[in-house]
Amino acid sequence: MERIILAVESSCDETAAAVVKNGREVLSNIISSQIPIHERYGGVVPEIASRNHVLNLPGVIDRALLEAGCSFCDLSAIAVTYGPGLVGALLTGVSAAKAIAAARGLPLVAVNHIHGHIAANYIAHPDLKPPFVCLVASGGHSHIVHVKGYTEFEILGRTRDDAAGEAFDKIARVLGLGYPGGPKLEKLAETGNSEAVSFPRVTFGEDCYDFSFSGVKTAVINYIHRQEQLGQEICKADLAASFQRAVVEALTEHTFLAARARNCPVVTLAGGVSANGALRKSFEAAAEKAGAKLYYPPLVLCTDNAAMIGCAGYYLYEQGIFADSALNAVPGLKL
Ligand code: KG4
Ligand code: ZN
């Protein structure tokens, strides 16, 4: 039977809606980015994000249905991100989804945003099935997840402090690159020497795959101050490339160690940071060395979007995991 799901995503600064058929076929994927609005503040202002979601959601949902050639009558369910994320931003999407579900008598599916990022890989790779190990690296989280089933997860490693994307954004700001920092830092790093400066790597013992990125961040800032005190010029491109190498190497090494420990020959990437070319290359090299199969989503499915929420929502729907009108936003939701 055909299952058509309308999905809504509003956990941070993207207002998004998508229509997804049978989990993996994306009929529409509308993303309204608020980057131009937040750019002048150098980062996402939560209150402004919420207000713009309220303004954008009706139009984004209408467009998603229109582009998919669907009406509310064709839908099997509404899926929505209910956490983790900014509480006000999440609430706008949750409220919209609950209103549609109530008005149209449709089942409501509550989706964890991290589950959504992992599911982006199912859309991009029709042959991909669990089990596999996935690195979810974005602005809010850096998790190594053992995906045991479509709705069954075990966290093998996580960051103890900053998320990888957060570190990219902070260093980009220090280097005066502006917001959003990740892509801008990557671009600058392309012209730099990644061996120019050696930054510390943090590990927590043999069987621990956790990350720490705040030390690298402080080391970069200290390096800049030291050079300034010495009156020496800083090559921003070298610094960006060296910082990127430190983060990419940590993400790659820990993920492949975790996959090896679980005897898992399939590795995937997800989340905004997986748009990073250096990270993809590093994962490709590591996968080849380990004899593992590597999957990652196309750029549009790496960063926040609603198609991935529709896909994750489909698997929850299939297992009869529904929410009701008491659904609330959970900003600190765990996987
Ligand atoms: O998944 P996402 O859109 O939102 C969250 O769930 O957080 O990820 C956004 C994060 C930001 O920190 C952004 O700087 C980072 O992903 N990012 C990148 C790149 N593109 C986005 N980081 C490094 N290189 C990139 N090319
Ligand atoms: Zn995200």
- The Å distance, Cα 276 to ligand 2 centre, comes to 14
**Residue 200, pLDDT score:** 84
- The model's pTM: 0.97
- The Å distance, Cα 140 to ligand 1 centre, comes to 9
**Residue 94, pLDDT score:** 98
Q: Which ligand is nearest to the CA of 33?
A: 1
**Residue 21, pLDDT score:** 98
CA-nearest residue, atom 3 of ligand 1: 303
**Residue 42, pLDDT score:** 87
Ligand 1 neighbourhood includes 273 CB (under 6 angstroms): yes
Ligand 1 neighbourhood includes 180 CB (under 6 angstroms): yes
Q: Which residues, in sequence order, are bridge partners of residue 110?
A: 80
**Residue 77, pLDDT score:** 98
CA-nearest residue, atom 7 of ligand 1: 139
- The Å distance, Cα 120 to ligand 2 centre, comes to 11
- DSSP code at position 199: -
Q: Which of 282, 171, 281 is nearest to 236 (CA)?
A: 171
Ligand 1 neighbourhood includes 138 CB (under 6 angstroms): yes
CA-nearest residue, atom 23 of ligand 1: 182
- The Å distance, Cα 139 to ligand 2 centre, comes to 7
Q: Which of 82, 118, 80 is nearest to 97 (CA)?
A: 80
With a cut of 50, which residues of the chain have pLDDT below it? none
Q: In angstroms, rounded to a whole number, what is the distance separating the alpha carbons of residues 52 and 58?
A: 11
Please provide the distance, in angstroms rounded to a whole number, between the alpha carbons at the two ends of the chain. Answer: 29
Ligand 1 neighbourhood includes 276 CB (under 6 angstroms): yes
- The Å distance, Cα 212 to ligand 2 centre, comes to 19
Ligand 1 neighbourhood includes 116 CB (under 6 angstroms): no
Q: CB burial class (10 A; 0-12, 13-18, 19+) of residue 160? A: middle
Q: In angstroms, rounded to a whole number, what is the distance separating the alpha carbons of residues 313 and 315?
A: 5
Atom of ligand 1 nearest to the CA of 163: 12
Atom of ligand 1 nearest to the CA of 278: 24
**Residue 212, pLDDT score:** 96
Q: Which of 144, 186, 206 is nearest to 277 (CA)?
A: 186
Ligand 1 neighbourhood includes 140 CB (under 6 angstroms): yes
**Residue 210, pLDDT score:** 97
**Residue 167, pLDDT score:** 96
**Residue 179, pLDDT score:** 86
Ligand 1 neighbourhood includes 162 CB (under 6 angstroms): no
